[in-house]
């Protein structure tokens, strides 16, 4: 066996993605709100890139837009090359985008003011709300420090999973101090904060009420698991109470207690949904209109044309301008390509789903991403990126674009029915069932079969769980 270093040649084909391709894919996948942040970042980093209205004002002030002739200095090859690239980029801007910057009217200020008035304020988290109470009640800095640790350790339901011993070890404080801090937290509003589990949370709230039936407390203390499983006869046998009395206690717990006292506080600012496309019916036909939201119009700044003069004798300036103008060119193209791809995909979806747009989810047809990819002429991964996190506004409401893609089931009449339509039929059957004797999964299979849909029992169980529908034993009303 020969050991040592050797050299060999090997021919192979490999697909290498350029930085421009990667950027285009990233821009395509961004939702509209995140794309706005990306555009703002590019505007700050690239001096050649600016908003369309700013570029128009700069061009009018320098008089560059009034003459089609280039100055003599631009006869140089370098200047002609840069100038041609800039003109090409500026000509690529869509007319509707360019006109929008100059279509300012007196109503714009009112619209901006209205949007400002309707902007939601900053939400207060549970921890902030609790610490506001603590600082007005306690004065001991050491105790407040332990309380703050406990408050920010609560889960989203406001429950405490750490013990006093664990807290004392983590903060290197005496256990009695940790126990005192826990008791302070348990006395704060909303009642139930700092509980160990659901049973403890409900008992804390019952302790703050003036009158609670003994049966209600006994159910929470001894039969909470059976109550969650809807085993009312078992509770009646163990407690000696009637099912009607148990139902009354159950109703009292449902309407008077909060099993998740921290749920009314937001963990953070909720993200709004901005549709990328809007479907409107015009003269009996559905039209697809792209939505840009508050996305600014992009253009190449004419102010930086003067920098081309400096590039004649300075290679560093030349390289800098080359990189910036290429980056601006590819980013503008990526944004335009994103809009074009999403609009083409949405147009094909609308063409295939006209029944849904007119009649609702029951008319939603099965559709695969590969079908749209073949029709549009792109790779299936492009369809996935173009629909991921994108929303479409239809006459039936605003939906995630990926919701339109689902497999189907053959009905008795030979037509294909989408999963969404089957789920909607399943929910209608459950809503109309006799609550005293709800359908089992086998009976749901039979009911779906009577409506012309034949699926397996395990599929019914999967759809039922996906819809958040409980089993028949837990849906039963006594």
Does the pLDDT value for residue 180 go beyond 80? yes
Chain length of the chain: 478
Instruction: Check residue 59 and give its pLDDT.
Output: 53
Instruction: Check residue 271 and give its pLDDT.
Output: 52
Fold match between domain 277-293+332-404 and domain 408-475: yes
Confidence at 74, pLDDT banded by 50, 70, 90: very low
The residue-averaged pLDDT of 113-122 equals 46
Instruction: Check residue 111 and give its pLDDT.
Output: 47
The residue-averaged pLDDT of 449-464 equals 85
Q: How many other C-beta atoms lie within 10 A of the C-beta of residue 467?
A: 12
% residues pLDDT > 70 (the chain): 76
Confidence at 45, pLDDT banded by 50, 70, 90: confident
Confidence at 324, pLDDT banded by 50, 70, 90: confident
Which CATH architecture does the domain made up of 277-293+332-404 adopt? Answer: Orthogonal Bundle (1.10)
Q: Is residue 409 within 8 Å of residue 453, measured between CB atoms?
A: yes
Instruction: Check residue 26 and give its pLDDT.
Output: 81
CATH code: domain 408-475 is 1.10.10.60
Pull the structure tokens for residue 372: 């749209």
| Candidate ranges 63-77, 259-273, 320-334; pick with highest mean pLDDT | 320-334
Q: Is residue 323 within 8 Å of residue 385, measured between CB atoms?
A: no
Instruction: Check residue 171 and give its pLDDT.
Output: 87
Confidence at 478, pLDDT banded by 50, 70, 90: confident
Determine the Cα–Cα distance for residues 310 and 397; give it in Å rounded to an integer: 55
Pull the structure tokens for residue 462: 């999967």
Instruction: Check residue 82 and give its pLDDT.
Output: 54
Per-domain boundaries in the chain = 19-62+73-99+295-326, 126-256, 277-293+332-404, 408-475
Instruction: Check residue 99 and give its pLDDT.
Output: 40
Instruction: Check residue 381 and give its pLDDT.
Output: 85
Pull the structure tokens for residue 88: 């090409």
Q: For 134-170, how does the pLDDT look when each residue is reduced to its tens digit (9 = 90+)?
A: 888 877 888 888 888 898 888 888 888 888 898 988 8
Instruction: Check residue 311 and give its pLDDT.
Output: 64
Instruction: Check residue 310 and give its pLDDT.
Output: 66
Instruction: Check residue 453 and give its pLDDT.
Output: 81
Does the pLDDT value for residue 343 go beyond 60? yes
Summary mean pLDDT of the chain? 77
Confidence at 69, pLDDT banded by 50, 70, 90: very low
Does the pLDDT value for residue 1 go beyond 70? no
Side-by-side strand order, sheet with 277-282: 285-290, 277-282, 391-394, 397-400
Instruction: Check residue 39 and give its pLDDT.
Output: 85
Does the pLDDT value for residue 17 go beyond 80? no
The crossing angle, in degrees rounded to 10, of helices 164-171 and 175-186 is 120
Q: Is 322 exposed, middle or buried (0-12, 13-18, 19+ CB in 10 A)?
A: middle
Q: For 385-437, how does the pLDDT look when each residue is reduced to its tens digit (9 = 90+)?
A: 888 888 888 888 888 888 888 776 766 665 667 777 888 888 888 888 888 88
Instruction: Check residue 294 and give its pLDDT.
Output: 67
Instruction: Check residue 120 and give its pLDDT.
Output: 47
Q: How many other C-beta atoms lie within 10 A of the C-beta of residue 78?
A: 15
Q: Is residue 98 within 8 Å of residue 338, measured between CB atoms?
A: no
pTM for the model stands at 0.55
Instruction: Check residue 449 and give its pLDDT.
Output: 85
Q: For 188-229, how does the pLDDT look when each residue is reduced to its tens digit (9 = 90+)?
A: 888 899 999 999 999 999 888 888 889 999 999 998 888 888
Instruction: Check residue 55 and give its pLDDT.
Output: 53
Q: Is residue 291 within 8 Å of residue 277, measured between CB atoms?
A: yes
Instruction: Check residue 106 and give its pLDDT.
Output: 43
In the block, residue with structure tokens 């209109």: 289
Determine the Cα–Cα distance for residues 252 and 474; give it in Å rounded to an integer: 18
- CA 217, 219, 223, 225 dihedral sign is negative
Determine the Cα–Cα distance for residues 172 and 165; give it in Å rounded to an integer: 10
Q: Is residue 143 within 8 Å of residue 177, measured between CB atoms?
A: yes
Q: What DSSP assignment string belongs to 411-422?
A: BTTS-EEEHHHH
Determine the Cα–Cα distance for residues 446 and 457; give it in Å rounded to an integer: 9
% residues pLDDT > 90 (the chain): 3
Does the pLDDT value for residue 122 go beyond 60? no
């Amino acid at each position: 066996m020969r050991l040592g270093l050797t050299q060999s040649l090997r021919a192979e084909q490999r697909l290498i993605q350029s930085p421009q391709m990667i950027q285009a894919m990233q821009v395509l996948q961004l939702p509209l709100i995140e794309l706005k942040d990306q555009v703002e970042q590019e505007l700050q980093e690239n001096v050649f890139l600016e908003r369309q209205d700013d570029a128009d004002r700069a061009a009018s002030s320098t008089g560059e837009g009034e003459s089609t002739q280039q100055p003599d200095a631009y006869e140089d090859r370098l200047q002609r090359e840069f100038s041609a690239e800039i003109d090409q980029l500026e000509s690529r801007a869509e007319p509707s985008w360019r006109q929008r910057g100059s279509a300012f009217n007196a109503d714009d200020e009112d619209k901006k003011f209205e949007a400002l008035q309707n902007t939601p304020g900053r939400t207060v988290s549970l921890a902030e709300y609790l610490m506001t109470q603590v600082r007005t009640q306690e004065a001991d800095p050491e105790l407040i420090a332990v309380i703050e640790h406990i408050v920010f350790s609560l889960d989203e339901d406001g429950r405490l999973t750490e013990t006093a011993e664990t807290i004392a070890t983590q903060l290197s404080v005496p256990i009695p101090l940790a126990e005192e801090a826990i008791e302070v937290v348990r006395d704060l509003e909303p009642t139930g904060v700092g509980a160990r589990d659901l049973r403890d949370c409900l008992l804390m709230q019952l302790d703050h009420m003036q009158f609670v039936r003994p049966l209600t407390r006994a159910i929470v203390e001894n039969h909470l698991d059976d109550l969650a499983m809807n085993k009312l006869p078992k509770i009646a046998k163990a407690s000696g109470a009637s099912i009607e009395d148990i139902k009354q206690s159950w109703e009292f717990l449902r309407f008077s207690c909060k099993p998740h006292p921290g749920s009314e506080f937001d963990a953070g600012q909720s993200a709004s949904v901005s549709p990328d496309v809007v479907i409107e019916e015009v003269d009996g036909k559905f039209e697809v209109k792209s939505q840009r939201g508050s996305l600014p119009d992009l253009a190449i700044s004419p102010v930086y044309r003067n920098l081309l003069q400096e590039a004649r004798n300075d290679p560093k300036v030349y390289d800098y301008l080359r990189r910036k103008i290429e980056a601006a060119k590819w980013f503008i193209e990526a944004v335009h390509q994103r809009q074009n791809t999403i609009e083409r995909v949405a147009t094909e979806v609308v063409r295939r789903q006209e029944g849904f747009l007119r009649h609702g989810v029951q008319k939603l047809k099965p559709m695969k991403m590969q079908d749209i990819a073949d029709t549009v002429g792109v790779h299936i991964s492009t369809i996935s990126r173009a629909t991921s996190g994108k929303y479409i506004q239809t006459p039936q409401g605003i939906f995630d674009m990926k919701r339109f893609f689902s497999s189907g089931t053959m009905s008795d009449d030979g037509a294909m029915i989408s999963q969404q339509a089957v789920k909607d039929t399943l929910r209608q059957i459950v809503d109309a069932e006799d609550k005293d004797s709800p359908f089992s999964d086998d009976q749901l299979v039979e009911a779906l079969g009577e409506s012309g849909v034949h699926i397996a029992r395990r599929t019914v169980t999967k759809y039922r769980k996906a819809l958040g529908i409980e089993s028949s034993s837990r849906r039963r009303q006594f």
